[in-house]
Chains A and B, each alone.
Chain A
Amino acid sequence: MEHKIETDFMIINMGPQHPSTHGVLRLELKTDGEIVMACRPFLGYLHRCFEKHCESLDYLKIIPFTDRMDYLASMNNNWAFCIAIEKLMGIKVSEKCEYLRVIVGELNRIASHIIAFGTFGLDIGAFTPFLLAFIQREKIFDLLEEASGARMLYNYIWVGGVARDVDGDWLKKTKKFCQEFKPALDEVDELLSLNKIFVERTANVGVVTKEMAISYGFTGPNLRGSGVNWDLRKNEPYSLYTKFDFNIPVGAGEQGQVGDCWDRYIIRIRECRESIKIIEQALEGISLEGDIYETVPKNFNKMPKGEVYARSETPRGEMGIYVVSEGGKAPVPYRVKVRSPAFCSLSILEEICKGVMISDVIAILGSVDIVLGEVDR
């Protein structure tokens, strides 16, 4: 005789209070035992009306707000916004300021990638690499604190320049950090990257093909993890990036298929090494002479009328800033819109989380490296 046991899917809310959703994200999982049948992300828990706020703020006062979008890479956000405004106003920034921007931007990129691969390891269950990497992140924060006065939300890059000058001592310290960082990164790399269990957990999991990555608007390390060689620093160089010699790591499916979680992870480790290369070259090239406020506009009264879209490469991908200015005497923008890379990366969850296990959802979410502050804005 055959008994028929009726089974039902279980709906689980992962988040907004959950240790691995990287902020306040809610995933609604429809599970059959350990298998996830469907996964829907719900956003908006951290929405702060950033874009609306900007419409009533002075251009300079918007910069601290951009800090709070992708709070792990504030420098790069400042920079992206300033590039847009400078493009609109037609300001050419002095070379010294550009060098400083490159140095702090790349330092912050490393700090952000440390969080990315550290918490990814944490999601997979490896605690130690996370803390070992955090020691280096502290050093970066000390450097950025000395340059800007703040540890996380810097408000350092201004329209037309930077907020504070640095001295030769700071450059020496940065150089020393670059020397110390390489062996420290190797240590984390050895602990985690080729660990058998780690590879088992991440290779062939959450594969995003080239076509999928492009159609979902992936950018940054996620896109490069899927095997697309695209980096704004090389393909559409801004600032001084044409001067530096560095490589763009691209995922090759070394442990599994192209575009799996392991590829997205290793891209970040390799990018840290490239960033160090850039910083070292920038430290060679910078000269401390010159006024950092030389090209900073005194006021925004002569803002031209028009609209501008500027993009730059933040640690999470391509950040686009769209600004409409009414011109005339109003020193506030008419409209600001941000194209956030993490938002696009998050949108893929629904597609690649079908039929994987609950543990894989965590791995995939960790590997696309989202920051909810930027997703919701």
Chain B
Amino acid sequence: MDNILVWTMISILVMVGLVSVVGIISIYLERKVSAFMQDRLGPMEVGFGSLANAIIGKKTFKEGRIGLAQSLADGLKLLQKEDIVPKGADVFLFKLAPMIVFGGTFAAFAALPLAEYFVPADINIGLFYILAISSFGVTGILMAGWASNNKWGLLGALRSTAQMVSYEIPIGVSLISIVMICGTLSLKEMVLAQSGWFWNWHLFGAISHNGAIGIVLLPVMFINFLIYFTCSLAETNRAPFDIPEAESELVAGYHTEYTGMRFAIFFLAEYGAIFVGNAIAVTLFLGGWNSGIPMLDEANIPGIAPLIFITKVFVLIFVVMWVRWTLPRLRVDQLMNLCWKYLIPFTLFTFFYVTIYKVFLT
């Protein structure tokens, strides 16, 4: 009994740490990646040494050269900022909203399978749980926009709600194909099914489940992966689907009125959500903690599994950033067109394809 309690506590602490670290690293990466793409340098001044010097007020440590501590310093700054609640706002909802948004994202981290031995909450409906809990954030966004008594905020919240509710459908349908192949909702078992060589990954069909015939699923799985990836961009309000917080149109969307730490929490939650979205992609399509080459797996190199998992997720996050700094933004009606006229019919097609495969070929 005691053992379980201790183990749970450790897992929770690690996950809390992971959420913040992931947020901070992603923000730093975002600035560096965008700088790299735009012929700039990005943050260069605030290293850990400079930050420590600033805190103690003496020049004790060597100053940083590539701005590693920039996001940390930003966080410290935001902590000290005044917490403004606008006049006429619904104070209770206004203060509750960031907690709900962050809570939804954070709770989703609990079920991520970082390694076979490290799944903080190993539940048999893991996938369902993550999808359910991460869409919880919409409530918070709607609350934030409504409660802040700001017209831009309200518009942003409405856009966000319409967008996230619509894009949940193609996400759900595209993931159901994997669930059908695996016959389970447990994330851990899905990853275990993809162990061994990389062609066992679900991206390349269902070879690990049904042998060579599984290759007939390759095209639809590629489509499924692309659809899932596109929709996860929309789910996390990233460009080209960042219309809820389009800074050139809605100032800042639903978080226009938020300041200080409340704003920082929205920011952190956004990057947390990106991590979760891509972590699901890695878990379901890209083999989770498996490296794809049996020699480099956990069995041979102990402790490498979580690293493989996180590296894969960050590669996808890099792609997300790459897309953001390349593409312009869609308009609200075009966004809905894309979802209802293209993505949903395609996912339905892949869904039937997999169903037929499952019924007649296995």
Contacts and interface: CB of A to CB of B under 8 A. Distances in A.
Given A200-B334, A362-B249, A126 B328 contact: yes
Contacts of B239: 125
B151 A362 contact: no
B255 to A, nearest CB: 15
Contacts of A12: 151-152, 155
B62 interface: no
A178 interface: no
A127 B325 contact: yes
B333 interface: yes
A180 B326 CA distance: 23
Interface string A357-371: 111101000000000
B330 A126 contact: no
A20 B248 CA distance: 5
A126 B327 contact: yes
Interface string B142-161: 00000000011001001100
B37 interface: yes
A357 B38 contact: no
Given A34-B332, A197-B330, A125 B242 contact: yes
Interface in A284-324: none
Interface in A109-127: 121-127
Q: In the complex, which of the residues B159, B239, B246 has the most CB atoms of chain A within 10 Å of its own CB atom?
A: B246
A286 B330 CA distance: 48
A179 interface: no
A359 B249 contact: yes
Contacts of A34: 155, 159, 332-333
Nearest to A191: B326
Contact of B240 (A128, A197, A360): A197
Contact of B251 (A18, A125, A132, A195): A18
Given A19-B248, A128-B38, A201 B330 contact: yes
A18 B151 CA distance: 13
Interface in B293-350: 325-334
A362 B329 contact: no
A353 to B, nearest CB: 14
Interface of A is mostly: helix
Contacts, number: 80
Contacts of A330: none
Interface in A15-41: 18-20, 33-34
A203 B152 CA distance: 26
Q: In the complex, which of the residues A10, A34, A127 has the most CB atoms of chain B within 10 Å of its own CB atom?
A: A127
A125 B251 CA distance: 12
Nearest to B151: A12
A131 interface: yes
Interface string B180-221: 000000000000000000000000000000000000000000
A362 B249 CA distance: 7
A46 interface: no
B135 interface: no
A135 interface: yes
Contact of A135 (B39, B158, B249): B39
Given A19-B247, A122-B248, A359-B249, A127 B38 contact: yes
A198 interface: yes
A358 B151 CA distance: 13
A132 B38 contact: yes
B326 A20 contact: no
Contact of A123 (B243, B248, B326): B248
Nearest to A359: B331
B34 interface: yes
Contacts of B151: 10, 12
A310 to B, nearest CB: 37
A201 B331 contact: yes
B256 to A, nearest CB: 11
A242 B217 CA distance: 67
A222 B44 CA distance: 41
A10 B242 CA distance: 23
Contacts of A192: 328
B40 interface: yes
A148 B159 CA distance: 49
A4 to B, nearest CB: 21
Nearest to A197: B328
B162 to A, nearest CB: 10
B233 to A, nearest CB: 13
Given A195-B327, A201-B328, A357-B332, A128 B249 contact: no
Contacts of B334: 200-201
Given A195-B327, A201-B330, A359-B331, A132 B39 contact: yes
Contacts of A19: 247-248, 251
Contact of B330 (A18, A20, A200): A200
B39 A131 contact: yes
Interface string B18-49: 00000000000000001001111000000000
A350 to B, nearest CB: 19
Interface string A158-191: 0000000000000000000000000000000001
Contacts of A121: 328
A-B residue pairs, 4 tightest by C-beta: A125-B329, A126-B328, A131-B38, A125-B328
20 contacts: A12-B151, A18-B251, A20-B248, A20-B249, A33-B158, A124-B248, A124-B329, A125-B246, A126-B327, A126-B329, A127-B34, A128-B38, A132-B39, A191-B326, A197-B330, A198-B328, A200-B330, A200-B334, A357-B331, A362-B249
Given A357-B332, A358-B155, A358-B249, 5 more contacts: A124-B329, A125-B248, A192-B328, A197-B240, A200-B334
